[in-house]
Amino acid sequence: MKKVKMNLTAWMLFTVILLCGGCSFKGPTPDPTVSKAPEWVESAVIYEVNLRQYTPSGTINEFSQHLKELKDMGVNTLWFMPIHPISITNRSGKLGSYYSVDDYRDVNPEFGTREDFKELVNKAHKMGFHVILDWVANHTGWDNAWITEHPDWYTQKDGKIISPEGMGWPDVADLNYDNPDMRKEMIDSMKYWLTEFDVDGFRCDYAPGVPADFWYEARYELSKVKDIYMLEEDLAGQAKDNLEYAFDSNYAAKVYETLMAVGKDAKTADRIKLYIPSSENNTFPMYYLDNHDVNSYDRTIAEAFSPEVLPSMYSVIFTLPGVPLIYSGDEIAYDKSIAFMEKDTIDWNRTGRDYRDLIKALSELKSSHPALCSDNTGEGFEIIDTGNKNIFAYKRIAKGDEVICIFNLSKRQQEGVDLSSIFPDKGEVLFCGVSDSYGIGGELPGDTHTFEPWEFYIIGNK
């Protein structure tokens, strides 16, 4: 991958932040070429592991038995929701939220031990997986030792530590990023998982709640240990500057919302292009049809996308420039909202549906075609206008490889679509489908083609 360089404005702003009196960054000015995603992210397919709900026991060791199944499905990157002990004081629900961290350097005994997790990471690495850990830097649980040992590490009001204001999270205490000692310990705790467990990166919860200069400092220090992937959760795009140096990817939240609206016939497919994130500095988005927040608090993947819609939507998020995400249960289009604070094991036989072969085929396409690399953005990506608002089409080119994707993202037949100007000279269908029937290969459509509802083609240039 190319090295990522901050634009001049952002770099000047960062320099000013570092020099200002209120900044606690004490190290040398970071090299702007440090922040880049590792090469393995080019073909990453991320699977978000809800450890508590994945198996009946909810343990690390029982989950470990399912690694081969995930590998066979084409997954190559595991994102573990927080695995730390959960505070009891002010706990929400019986078991509490993963995001109420009691100890940043330990493993929740509900899941197992540090040794269990270390063995899991070693096994995953040997099988070709990469592992990223969910990191909660904005707040801790109320039983965290920092509360009593370092109360000045927390935001206080009228002499009392408070929860993050306006968020509705009573089970956590807000951290004070004006404190340099707390910042150092937070970074050292992140380093601990790199040095002791060899994890490959972090998904950072509620990244906008933490000052940007902390993330710059953290990325700089962590990159001294190993080449890591950094994914930020910033649903509203509040912290875009974080992508200038600290993070490699952010959630493509607007694309998710638009895909859902298109699938429900509330928007036309041409609206999607308006929300595809920019790719400045070689960063790229993470696309998804589901995640733990969406599933538990908004809607299930089955509520968002009907069976006839889902194959084409999966194909979109695997072929747009960026990284695709699969959440636990998405492979069966799980139609139940998974409890967040209680034990609620996924019923893997509940839906009778199985999208593992679809995910596998799309994963293999992504890994075998340079044009579909996560970081192939900018000049390597071109939206194609067919003159039909319901047809979403685009071309991706890299290293002599060319892939064209054409989707009828509509519940209606689209007659007489002119494709004569967009086909490669020697094209072959790599993958195609219509409604909930799909597969590898197939016949090329003609220069003028009538698309059935939800019909799509992924075409390679020989």
Task: Pick the range with the lowest mean pLDDT from 54-63, 184-193, 275-284.
Answer: 275-284
Could you write out the three-class secondary structure of the chain? CCCCCCCHHHHHHHHHHHHCCCCCCCCCCCCCCCCCCCHHHHHCCEEEECHHHHCCCCCHHHHHCCHHHHHHCCCCEEEECCCCCECCCCCCCCCCCCCCECCCCCCCCCCCCHHHHHHHHHHHHHCCCEEEEEECCCEEECCCCHHHHCHHHECEECCEECCCCCCCCCCEEEECCCCHHHHHHHHHHHHHHHHCCCCCEEEECCHHHCCHHHHHHHHHHHCCCCCCEEEECCCCCCCCCHHHHCCCEEECHHHHHHHHHHHCCCCCHHHHHHHCCCCHHHCCCEEECCCHHHHHHHCCHHHHCCCCCHHHHHHHHHHCCCEEEEECCHHHCCCCCCCCCCCCCCCCCCCCCCCHHHHHHHHHHHHHCHHHCCCCCHHHEEEECCCCCCEEEEEEEECCEEEEEEEECCCCCEEEEECCCCCCCCEEEEEEEECCEEEECCCCCCCEEEECCCCEEEEEEC
Task: Pick the range with the lowest mean pLDDT from 374-383, 401-410, 442-451.
Answer: 374-383
Rg (the chain; Cα; Å): 23
Predicted local distance difference test score (pLDDT) of residue 378: 77
pLDDT tier at 65, thresholds 50, 70, 90: very high
- Identify whether the C-beta of residue 393 lies closer than 8 Å to the C-beta of residue 420: no
Residue, of 63 and 420, whose pLDDT is higher: 63
pLDDT tier at 237, thresholds 50, 70, 90: confident
Residue 220 has pLDDT above 70, yes or no: yes
Mean confidence (pLDDT) of the chain: 91
Q: For 80-128, write each residue's pLDDT tens digit.
A: 999 999 999 999 999 999 999 999 999 999 999 999 999 999 999 999 9
Residue 238 has pLDDT above 60, yes or no: yes
Q: For 346-368, write each residue's pLDDT tens digit.
A: 999 999 999 999 999 999 999 99
pLDDT tier at 14, thresholds 50, 70, 90: very low
Q: By C-alpha distance, which of 294, 371, 370 is closest to 337?
A: 294
> In the predicted model, what is the mean pLDDT of residues 28-47?
78
Q: For 396-441, write each residue's pLDDT tens digit.
A: 999 999 999 999 999 999 999 999 888 766 789 999 999 999 999 9
pLDDT tier at 7, thresholds 50, 70, 90: very low
Predicted local distance difference test score (pLDDT) of residue 379: 78
Residue 31 has pLDDT above 50, yes or no: yes
pLDDT tier at 310, thresholds 50, 70, 90: very high
Task: Pick the range with the lowest mean pLDDT from 71-75, 111-115, 132-136, 276-280.
Answer: 276-280
Task: Tell me the percentage of the chain whose pLDDT exceeds 90.
Answer: 84
- Identify whether the C-beta of residue 365 lies closer than 8 Å to the C-beta of residue 458: yes
Measured CA to CA in angstroms, residue 48 lies from 10, 79, 338 at distances of 31, 5, 14
Predicted local distance difference test score (pLDDT) of residue 98: 96
Residue 22 corresponds to which tokens in the numbers above? 């209120």
Cβ neighbours for 9, distance < 8 A, ≥ 6 positions apart: none
Is residue 115 classed exposed, middle or buried when 0-12, 13-18 and 19+ CB atoms within 10 A define those classes? exposed
Residue 33 corresponds to which tokens in the numbers above? 């070429």
- Identify whether the C-beta of residue 31 lies closer than 8 Å to the C-beta of residue 5: no
Residue, of 101 and 23, whose pLDDT is higher: 101
Predicted local distance difference test score (pLDDT) of residue 461: 86
pLDDT tier at 236, thresholds 50, 70, 90: confident
Predicted local distance difference test score (pLDDT) of residue 32: 52
Residue 9 has pLDDT above 80, yes or no: no
Residue 15 has pLDDT above 70, yes or no: no
Q: For 242-293, write each residue's pLDDT tens digit.
A: 888 899 999 999 999 999 999 999 999 999 999 998 766 778 999 999 999 9
d(CA 388, CA 46): 33
Residue 33 has pLDDT above 70, yes or no: no
**One-letter identity of residue 1:** M
Task: Tell me the percentage of the chain whose pLDDT exceeds 70.
Answer: 91
